[in-house]
Amino acid sequence: MVSSGVVRRTGRVNGRGTAGQPAAGGSGQQRQHRENAVGTTQATGEIQAIIRLDYPISSQKLQEIGAKLTLFQGDKPIATGDLSQDSTLTFSESTTASGGVSQRTTDQTVNYIDVNIRGLSAQEDENTYHLKFEAEGFKTYESDGLTLSQYSKGIVLGTGDATFTQGDLNGDNAINTSDVDIVKSKLSTNDSKTDLNGDGKVDIYDLAVVTMASAATGEAQLFNTTVITAKVVDTASVAQAITGSAKVEIQQGDVSSLFTDDGQTVTLVPKGGSGELELPIPLAESAQETGVEMEQVSIVSSTANPVEKGTVVAELVNGEKIAVPFDHSNPDGVLAMQLRDDGRKTVTISLGQRVPVKNV
Ligand SMILES: [Ca+2]
Ligand SMILES: [Ca+2]
């Protein structure tokens, strides 16, 4: 049973392993991740933001109003991004972090804006970030702190809730009757500033948007995304558990490569001719007491020697064990399977519910 992890609302313990021979097709991946392999213990995480345009806006209008975001680490701005088009974030100094903005549009109208930032330090004392969103005619919004401890973080906000609200036409960072009056005074004109959706005219639609914005409620939603493996898996204890195991040994590679996407292949083989391979993954001591909330486990292996069949056993904080058998040819319990052109195969297995796990 090769490693591990979790995707979406729970985390991905980025396991790579091959049962049997080394992966045939890993070279592209190795190239891509060689830099990361240098500082192998550096824990990094991701921040994802989804901005709902509750009242969709034309992409041209978004460019006119200079919609942008700033990422802060502590109080220090470290990156800016252009929300008005698909773009790459600009970091203020050299960093391993990177990020991008992508819009989801229907015709020329933008419905959502996705922001994805990765490679952010998750080291204690420098792992709290926040985002600021600004645009002309919008209430400026600064998020609460997004701290990368056990998990990467996500935030969802909307232009029609009380976060990054559209409709501040006099620039006082509030939306009230003054703003509604401005729209009323421009009705039936083509005043571009008051044309909130950018359809070329100021009409009842724009008046409705600003009126609803003046009574907007609703906060941003914050959530955990993937597990930050380096924070919850102690590779030394995994190595120790493998050494002490009667069912698995490492033929090639380093234990730490099982949990980081460093492009290095680890070859695990069954011990003692049993033909069965079992990989114990005790979580870090710091995660033992409260556990790590998980609902899915993803196993990444090579397509040359894929992990197709096995059992995921999760030991919960209360000592209870959940065993989930999975079989590639019989997709019960297998949530998703993904093949990548770099020769990797990911099988995602549901644990059935969200549970606090201390060992896998
Ligand atoms: Ca205002
Ligand atoms: Ca309009």
User: Do 248 and 139 belong together in one domain?
Assistant: no
Ligand 2 centroid from CA 180, angstroms = 14
Ligand 1 centroid from CA 67, angstroms = 17
pLDDT at 333: 60
User: Do 32 and 64 belong together in one domain?
Assistant: no
DSSP output for 110-162: EEEEEEEEEEEE-STTS-EEEEEEE-TTB--EEPPPEE-SSEEEEEEEETTTT
User: Do 191 and 316 belong together in one domain?
Assistant: no
Ligand lying closest to the C-alpha of residue 191: 2
* Three-point CA angle 32, 38, 41, nearest 5°: 110
CA nearest to 347, candidates 95, 330, 358: 330
Residues 23-39 pLDDT 10s:
333 333 333 333 333 33
pLDDT at 48: 97
Our count of domains for the chain comes to 2
Ligand 2 centroid from CA 65, angstroms = 14
Looking at 225, 251, 274, the residue that finishes a domain is 225
Ligand 2 centroid from CA 49, angstroms = 27
CA nearest to 213, candidates 185, 180, 244: 180
* Residue 118 C-beta-side C-alpha neighbours within 13 Å: 9
**Is 56 part of a structural domain of the chain?**
yes
Edge-to-edge strands, sheet with 87-88 = 87-88, 98-106, 109-121, 44-58, 151-158, 221-227
Q: Are 166 and 183 in contact, with CB atoms under 8 Å apart? A: no
Ligand lying closest to the C-alpha of residue 169: 1
Looking at 174, 200, 225, the residue that finishes a domain is 225
Ligand lying closest to the C-alpha of residue 57: 2
Ligand lying closest to the C-alpha of residue 204: 2
Residues 271-293 pLDDT 10s:
877 678 888 888 888 788 888 88
Ligand lying closest to the C-alpha of residue 213: 1
Ligand 2 centroid from CA 100, angstroms = 29
**Is 3 part of a structural domain of the chain?**
no
Ligand 1 centroid from CA 193, angstroms = 13
Ligand lying closest to the C-alpha of residue 168: 1
CATH number of the domain where residue 168 is located? 2.60.40.4130
User: Do 289 and 190 belong together in one domain?
Assistant: no
Ligand 1 centroid from CA 182, angstroms = 10
CA nearest to 84, candidates 144, 48, 136, 141: 136
User: Do 168 and 270 belong together in one domain?
Assistant: no
Mean pLDDT across 330-352: 74
Reduce the DSSP state of residue 333 to 3 states and report it.
coil
Ligand 2 centroid from CA 161, angstroms = 19
Ligand 2 centroid from CA 205, angstroms = 6
**Is 61 part of a structural domain of the chain?**
yes
Ligand 2 centroid from CA 207, angstroms = 9
Residues 168-219 pLDDT 10s:
999 999 999 999 999 999 999 999 999 999 999 999 999 999 999 999 999 9
The domain containing residue 101 runs over which residues? 44-225
**Is 123 part of a structural domain of the chain?**
yes
Ligand 1 centroid from CA 155, angstroms = 25
Residue 20 pLDDT > 70: no
Class of residue 263 by CB neighbours under 10 A (exposed 0-12, middle 13-18, buried 19+): buried
User: Do 135 and 172 belong together in one domain?
Assistant: yes
Ligand lying closest to the C-alpha of residue 199: 2
**Segments in the chain forming alpha helices (H):** 27-38, 59-64, 177-186, 204-213, 229-232, 235-243, 285-288
CA nearest to 302, candidates 335, 265, 356: 265
**Is 4 part of a structural domain of the chain?**
no
pLDDT at 264: 83
Ligand 1 centroid from CA 301, angstroms = 55
Quote the CA–CA distance of 55 and 36 in Å, as a whole number. Answer: 41
- Ligand 1 being an ion, which residues bring their Cβ within 5 A of it? 168, 170, 172, 174, 179
State the helix-helix crossing angle for 204-213 and 177-186, rounded to 10 degrees. Answer: 180
Residues 6+ apart with CB under 8 A from 124: none
User: Do 161 and 38 belong together in one domain?
Assistant: no
Ligand 2 centroid from CA 160, angstroms = 16
User: Do 157 and 291 belong together in one domain?
Assistant: no
Ligand lying closest to the C-alpha of residue 139: 1
Residue 312 pLDDT > 80: yes
**Is 11 part of a structural domain of the chain?**
no
Q: Tokens in use for 107?
A: 């015709």
Q: What percent of the chain has pLDDT over 70?
A: 86
Ligand lying closest to the C-alpha of residue 193: 2
194 secondary structure, DSSP code: T
Ligand 2 centroid from CA 186, angstroms = 11
Question: In the structure, what pLDDT confidence band is assigned to residue 6 with cuts at 50, 70 and 90?
Answer: very low
Predicted TM-score (pTM) of this structure: 0.77
Residue 5 pLDDT > 90: no
User: Do 218 and 313 belong together in one domain?
Assistant: no
Looking at 200, 225, 250, the residue that finishes a domain is 225
pLDDT at 330: 61
